[in-house]
Structure 1
């Protein structure tokens, strides 16, 4: 059973309940102060308590997404996982050293509201493991291929790409189960409001449980390079993706929203479009990020501060969408960033920023689910086919 599966939690619940009933039933029979009865009492208590603690630990993990699989739990970082085989979407034969490999991780089977039907009608969601050649990092992701991807008439067509990032702590499953990203994309596609695109769903916490805020940590994980180079390179090598920056977008919520805006601002030659829902504009360092993310290097920290970049560096050629609510605690900071970006945009017509604010809502999935359709429509209108 998968680490994140409901079946595992339910099995442990059943085991704990059975152990509790057995304890109540057998305790009088094990009351003697002899070795075997004493061992019996210890065994019953151990099974009961371990089952309860395991259920609590799994429930916390499933809610916050620290680990997505058994491999993720016992082999953190996953960079040295053995590769198996991969379906080559260019029409070639399976290869053993491809950067993207199929995997059973992510517990996709437990999500029951995904579009049903053949790939050429509803598209297809794949669970894959991506391994980076530049950084050596490896992580599980979901890839949604639209129905048009399987149309023989479009076999030579390259598709726009949207990289979607969850929050921290969070798993790729949160993008499918809680945010309902592919389900929403499918409904918008049926309504003619979304261009056919490859949607890649990932988490910022590539080296969970640490939160690196999608930056290259001096002497540590290079998660910025992972998202800006390794992941795009792997996708281009595996799928029929468009090549130009204007055909690539990055979107996220919470920490994923911060990462999305930062990746677009720092790498406009990769992501020509970025959307951040309830993101920060400066890297936040706290107990979850571990030691200093920048090693005390103020210059590195400044370059990851989006307001500093707007004030000190030329405005990049890209389109940004900032989404939040007027009840968010960081709403004033969001307004300041948007005002600054709009002033800078006057000096570079190729730099565009737009904003969208809900009147109410907090830092939660209720707000992000309401904001998602507008975020996807905005992104779809800007992703080009080239």
Structure 2
């Protein structure tokens, strides 16, 4: 069995190798003489540095799931990882291939199907697109944030309607941050997420196709993506939830729109507010995310509805996002339409 780069086994192995390198450096430090000693010290010191960096990188990757398999590490689609199986009696996770006619991107998208999807074969279900942060991949939602388990729990408890949740990549390359925008001379991520993914879901799954049946959620960069795409496409989405998201992309899009149309503050100051609902959540200690959420709340005008929810303390971390995903999903479900009979 191949050890995945985001696995505990890989992290422990890398740590063990780094420790062994340090022991080797200590043992060989005084060996030899003259140029031979200098060369030995340099080689073992370099080995220590490389193994320490590799171990640290693997531990970080384990937290954010940027690379979930070795082929992704070599530059393939970061969403290629197999989806985890759902629990007994709960929903299941499948993988869609989205060949984006509009964006030109062909990427894999994981999809959570609630248990009712199989029990109620004559119904179409509401949809939420769940967007990941950067660095990261859709696998972080399914692994570190255990989204399938949380969705099973909330739906079974009746706090959330049976909902299909899609986990698309916001970038075709783990090293390229698109912030879900259409980069000039780069990937058309916005088009992929707002045109190609909904089209593929409608063709391959029993989902609602009206705006009342579609919402967005995201954490960190994905939180910015969720609010920005909802404001830019109110004809497609009814609501969006942001977990520690920001008000601007923080990257260069290539046409200056990072300061205008892709800056949510600029949009609310200069354009008519759309009829969508936003849920803005963060830890109070997450200064940038908390400040931007309060700014958007103050700028909001009817018909835009903004709800804020803050966690005392808390930083910009997976633990905060896992603690806040349940109320965010529940809130989203309250704004979206429920399953409807298929025609």
Query: Is the pair's TM-score, using the shorter chain for normalization, greater than 0.5?
Result: yes
Aligned match of 1:58: 58
| d(CA) in 2 for partners of 1:317, 1:63 | 36
- Aligned-residue offset at 1:8: 4.3
The answer to whether structure 1 residue 360 and structure 2 residue 319 are counterparts is no
The structure with the largest alpha-carbon Rg is: 1
Aligned match of 1:68: 68
The answer to whether structure 1 residue 304 and structure 2 residue 262 are counterparts is yes
1:142 to 1:6, Cα distance in 2 relative to 1, 3 A = farther
- Aligned-residue offset at 1:354: 1.8
* SS of alignment partner, residue 317 of structure 1: coil
| d(CA) in 2 for partners of 1:323, 1:224 | 23
| d(CA) in 2 for partners of 1:229, 1:139 | 13
- Aligned-residue offset at 1:267: 0.9
- Aligned-residue offset at 1:175: 1.2
8 Å contact kept, 2:183–2:254? yes
TM-score by length of 2: 0.82
8 Å contact kept, 2:75–2:173? no
1:48 to 1:242, Cα distance in 2 relative to 1, 3 A = same
* SS of alignment partner, residue 274 of structure 1: strand
Aligned match of 2:275: 317
1:217 to 1:77, Cα distance in 2 relative to 1, 3 A = farther
| d(CA) in 2 for partners of 1:77, 1:142 | 12
The answer to whether structure 1 residue 382 and structure 2 residue 342 are counterparts is no
Deviation readout 1:112-169 (Å, 9 max, x if unpaired) = xx6522xxx3121224553422223244442111111111xx2121111111112211
Structure 1 alignment gaps of length 5 or more:
32-42, 79-102, 286-291
8 Å contact kept, 1:162–1:198? yes
Give the length in aligned residue pairs: 332
- Aligned-residue offset at 1:316: 1.6
| d(CA) in 1 for partners of 2:254, 2:83 | 36
1:50 to 1:321, Cα distance in 2 relative to 1, 3 A = closer
2:253 is aligned, of 290, 293, 297, to 293
| d(CA) in 1 for partners of 2:56, 2:308 | 40
TM-score by length of 1: 0.73
* SS of alignment partner, residue 73 of structure 2: helix
1:307 to 1:56, Cα distance in 2 relative to 1, 3 A = closer
Structure 2 alignment gaps of length 5 or more:
33-42
RMSD: 3.5
8 Å contact kept, 2:91–2:148? no
The answer to whether structure 1 residue 336 and structure 2 residue 338 are counterparts is no
